[in-house]
Structure 1
Amino acid sequence: MSMIKWSKELSIWSGKLSNVGLTVPNAINITLNETQKFQTIIGFGGAFTDAAGINLAKLSPGAQQNLIRSYYGPEGIGYTLGRTPMASCDFSAREYSYDDVDGDFNLTNFALTQEDYIYKVYSDPDAYKIVDGLAIHWYADQSTSDIVDPYHLTDAHNAYPDKFLLYTEVLQHWVTGWTDWNICLDPQGGPNWVNNWCDSPIIVSNTTDEFEKQPMYYGLGHFAKFIVPDSVIIGLNFEGNTNQTNLEAIAALNPSGQKVVVLNNRDVASTYQISVINKQGSALNLAIEPRSFTTIVWSE
């Protein structure tokens, strides 16, 4: 059994663990249910926005290759998907659209709505055949939202189980992958024509032929590097001291037969004691530090 850990101090290490045995008192016990299988993962990736292209172009060819390999190369964090916007987005140097009617600034002829995709396309037998899946944005993904509840994704899967669900920016409710936003930005968080500056996993220098990998780069790697394409999400149960609600976890079986558990401690102060129990009854006992990711990979 091996473990990869990333914390707010950027400590990263891997190796064989010896603290396998009985569970410890007051721990959160995590057991996997391999018979409860959910979605098969398509992959993870990032967005090739105009801003990402502008920043990539500032680098030398060698640095450009190193940046792309940091995401998509064998020594990178395991990205396999790429996302490109249709027409301009906020991360463009200027505004432009694909509305074919000249001067239609009110977008009177722009008629693509949520209903067009979900209901009309899927209800048309011919269109249904050529649609592979449904992409969802996470901004309104709150149980209290008046716009969308994440449980509706389960409803969508039940209605159209042969179509994938992909987050275009979370792996519950049958979602099969994730594409993050800009793969790189400048130190200001742009360019962005509406001044909506944002962070990015990689920041490209304005003055030198360099780029910097940010903490979120390593956080994304916990998922993309180990929950590889064709992995299957499986059931995971919390038992014992389950009052610590800031702990999140997901489990998967990857194509090589290894089991993967990714743990995220969102608490800003508390360290959680965890016991991950295998089907033989042995437990891996470890402490999950505040604001950290921990990934466990093992074979049985």
Structure 2
Amino acid sequence: DSINLRLTQTDNLVFKVAKQPLETEISVFVNPDKTFQSFMGIGGAITDASAEVFAKLPKEKQQEFLNAYYDKEKGIGYSLLRTTIHSSDFSSGSYTYIKEGDKDLKSFSIDQDKKYRIPMIKAATKTAGGKIPLYVSPWSPPAFMKDNKHMLKGGKLLPEYFQSWANYYTKFISAYEKEGMPIWGITVQNEPMAVQKWESCIFTAEEERDFLKNFLGPTMAKNGYADKKIVVWDHNRDLMFQRANVIYSDPEASKYAWGMGFHWYETWAGGEPMFDNVGKVYEAYPDKHLMFTEGCVESFDQKNYQLWANGERYGISMINDFNNGTVAWTDWNILLDQQGGPNHVGNFCFAPIHGDTDKGELIYTPSYY
């Protein structure tokens, strides 16, 4: 049965130089003098959900999990890590790092993260050899900073809080680095064109450009974080070229943007993945970097744990994204429980590894491999 041979070694192949191949031969043509983008890494996100599930596993399963992801010899050697600025839907509830209404951020504290998330990030970093690029993304500003007065269901950042919100990123970086976790970079806003039932906030291309140019970029530089990478867009492939044109065509905004992040959920409308758009951005702006910042298999159902198509979706995306100029690829939750959560709005999804917190077991899915 060929299905059972998908991850089975069947032969040892050795590449050797050929003179003139025949049409009947299978050949691989390599030109070592032609190079493309520099590969940065592959990784995943440690969310609140991942960290809470991790904490409930037996110690030996925790170590097995860490080795599976971050050990280069015993596992797949993840070399990139993403996390969130306060809550996302994959948290047990909505929260921020300040008291509601604290425009000056005097109450800023990451104590919420010290229980589960920070210990897991530190454990992952240690397993990865003591160093791993960590970047962070916000899902929504605090409710009082938005026009809908709610962290959920979209809304926009109010102009009178542009500076406060820009300061919030630098407060986060400072707090995490004081805990011994260097921040490699930030994204401006997770999925800035999606009104979701969970934490979300809308930025048009022009609004993101102007916030980056007039507030976030200068604030990062002023606070000594000019070396941190700022990633724009952080949404699906469908509108990424339009977003790139608006932001990169403005020199005063573009100078702060290291590159563009993108997700794979443009297929929600029933179409095919728009890999060509990745290539168009790469061709038009070769001096900017491309990073896949999130993808997961939606609509969790335990009977589909071993559905091979879920793993193929990862492989197809990686191959096409890298072939179109992407330098790094980041999975979404690296660990979820046997219900596809926790998720405080019921948006249960798959992860490459699930932790059955009742049985204390790890469930490896095809996406992991």
TM-score bracket relative to the smaller structure = 0.5 to 0.7
Pairing partner for 2:355 from 168, 185, 204: 204
Query: Do residues 101 (structure 1) and 144 (structure 2) align?
Result: yes
SS in 1 for 2:66: helix
TM-superposition CA deviations, 1:39-66 (whole Å, max 9, x none): 2211100111121111111123443233
SS in 1 for 2:335: coil
Q: Per the alignment, do residues 151 and 90 of structure 1 end up closer, same or farther by CA in structure 2, a change over 3 Å counting?
A: same
TM-superposition CA deviations, 1:147-188 (whole Å, max 9, x none): x94323223223321221011232221111211111111112
Q: Within 1, Cα distance between the matches of 2:9 and 2:283? A: 40
Correspondences of 1:181-200 after superposition (within 5 Å): 181-200=332-351
User: What amino acid maps onto 1:77 in structure 2?
Assistant: I
Which is further off, 150-159 or 6-15?
6-15
* 8 Å CA contact retained: 1:186, 1:205: yes
SS in 2 for 1:191: coil
User: What amino acid maps onto 1:161 in structure 2?
Assistant: P
Query: Do residues 165 (structure 1) and 290 (structure 2) align?
Result: yes
> Equivalent residue for 1:237?
none
User: What amino acid maps onto 1:216 in structure 2?
Assistant: S
* 8 Å CA contact retained: 1:165, 1:175: yes
Correspondences of 1:122-201 after superposition (within 5 Å): 122-140=248-266, 149-168=274-293, 169=295, 170=318, 171-201=322-352
SS in 2 for 1:216: coil
User: What amino acid maps onto 1:155 in structure 2?
Assistant: K
Q: Per the alignment, do residues 150 and 178 of structure 1 end up closer, same or farther by CA in structure 2, a change over 3 Å counting?
A: same
TM-superposition CA deviations, 1:195-250 (whole Å, max 9, x none): 222222111122233323222211xxxxxxxxxxxxxxxxxxxxxxxxxxxxxxxx
Q: Per the alignment, do residues 50 and 134 of structure 1 end up closer, same or farther by CA in structure 2, a change over 3 Å counting?
A: same
Give the Å deviation of 1:126: 4.6
Q: Per the alignment, do residues 27 and 185 of structure 1 end up closer, same or farther by CA in structure 2, a change over 3 Å counting?
A: farther
Q: Within 2, Cα distance between the matches of 1:94 and 1:8? A: 41
Q: Please report the TM-score for the alignment, with normalisation by the length of structure 1.
A: 0.58
> Equivalent residue for 2:65?
67
Q: Within 1, Cα distance between the matches of 2:346 and 2:25? A: 46
* 8 Å CA contact retained: 1:99, 1:107: no
Q: Within 1, Cα distance between the matches of 2:350 and 2:142? A: 30
Relative to its length, the structure with more strand (as a share) is 1
Query: Do residues 113 (structure 1) and 111 (structure 2) align?
Result: no
Q: Within 2, Cα distance between the matches of 1:41 and 1:213? A: 26
Give the Å deviation of 1:141: 6.4
Q: Within 2, Cα distance between the matches of 1:164 and 1:196? A: 30
> Equivalent residue for 1:265?
none
User: What amino acid maps onto 2:255 in structure 1?
Assistant: K
Give the Å deviation of 1:189: 1.3
SS in 1 for 2:350: coil
* 8 Å CA contact retained: 1:150, 1:173: yes
Give the Å deviation of 1:124: 4.4
* 8 Å CA contact retained: 1:134, 1:163: yes
Gap runs ≥5 in structure 1: 1-5, 219-300
Q: Per the alignment, do residues 188 and 179 of structure 1 end up closer, same or farther by CA in structure 2, a change over 3 Å counting?
A: same
Q: Per the alignment, do residues 14 and 56 of structure 1 end up closer, same or farther by CA in structure 2, a change over 3 Å counting?
A: farther
User: What amino acid maps onto 1:90 in structure 2?
Assistant: D
Q: Within 2, Cα distance between the matches of 1:21 and 1:163? A: 35
SS in 1 for 2:368: helix
TM-superposition CA deviations, 1:23-53 (whole Å, max 9, x none): 8986754433434422221110011112111
Q: Per the alignment, do residues 8 and 27 of structure 1 end up closer, same or farther by CA in structure 2, a change over 3 Å counting?
A: farther
Give the Å deviation of 1:16: 4.0
Q: Within 2, Cα distance between the matches of 1:186 and 1:46? A: 16
Gap runs ≥5 in structure 2: 96-139, 158-200, 209-231, 233-243, 296-317
Relative to its length, the structure with more helix (as a share) is 2
Question: Relative contact order (C-alpha < 8 Å, sep 6+): which is higher?
Answer: 1
Percent sequence identity over matched residues? 35
SS in 2 for 1:90: coil
Q: Within 2, Cα distance between the matches of 1:19 and 1:38? A: 22
> Equivalent residue for 1:78?
77
> Equivalent residue for 2:116?
none
User: What amino acid maps onto 1:98 in structure 2?
Assistant: P
User: What amino acid maps onto 1:104 in structure 2?
Assistant: K
> Equivalent residue for 2:54?
56
Q: Per the alignment, do residues 212 and 152 of structure 1 end up closer, same or farther by CA in structure 2, a change over 3 Å counting?
A: closer
Alignment size in residue pairs: 211
